[in-house]
Amino acid sequence: MKKILVILGPNLNMVGIREKGVYGAETAESIEAQIKSFAAENGFDCEVYQSNHEGDLIDKIHASREGYSGAVINAGALTHYSYALRDAIACVDIPYIEVHMSNIHAREEFRHKSVIAPVCKGQIAGFGKLSYFLAIDALKELV
């Protein structure tokens, strides 16, 4: 069974608590369980990793080159300014798909630009937790 990684950046552990009008009321733990279940139903072993620390995310991206077929990343606010995350993704030779629960293009101006998009295979935004499922579907075609 192929193994995939889902990386969640800063504040995504607070989904279901913060900004419910943007992210919904469902908890991060519930969504994580559904991601793992959906991945398994689609033939993947799935690890979900969340950190509020940029360096930890970079270390996990570097480690993804060993033992993972592909990855999904919701880098949170780091999406918009972390060239370090961008460079880390560029270092590894597995497909990454950028995901956002909210439609970043319909939000504040600073959220419209993604610095990681150019090194990802694609971007999925605006479908809530379904964004993760769509990304996993895409990985089926890429790995």
Of residues 68, 100, 105, 112, which has the active-site annotation? 100
Whose tokens are 């398994």? That residue is 40
Q: Is 112 a catalytic residue?
A: no
Residue 80 is a catalytic residue: no
User: Of the listed 23, 49, 96, 132, which one is catalytic?
Assistant: 23
Residue 57's CB is within 10 A of a number of other CB atoms, namely 25
Alpha-helical (H) ranges within the chain are 20-23, 28-41, 54-63, 83-91, 130-142
Distance CA 102, CA 87 (A): 24
Residue 73 near residue 120, CB atoms below 8 Å: yes
CA 87, chain centre distance (Å)? 16
* SS3 state at 16: coil
| Catalytically annotated residues | 23, 100
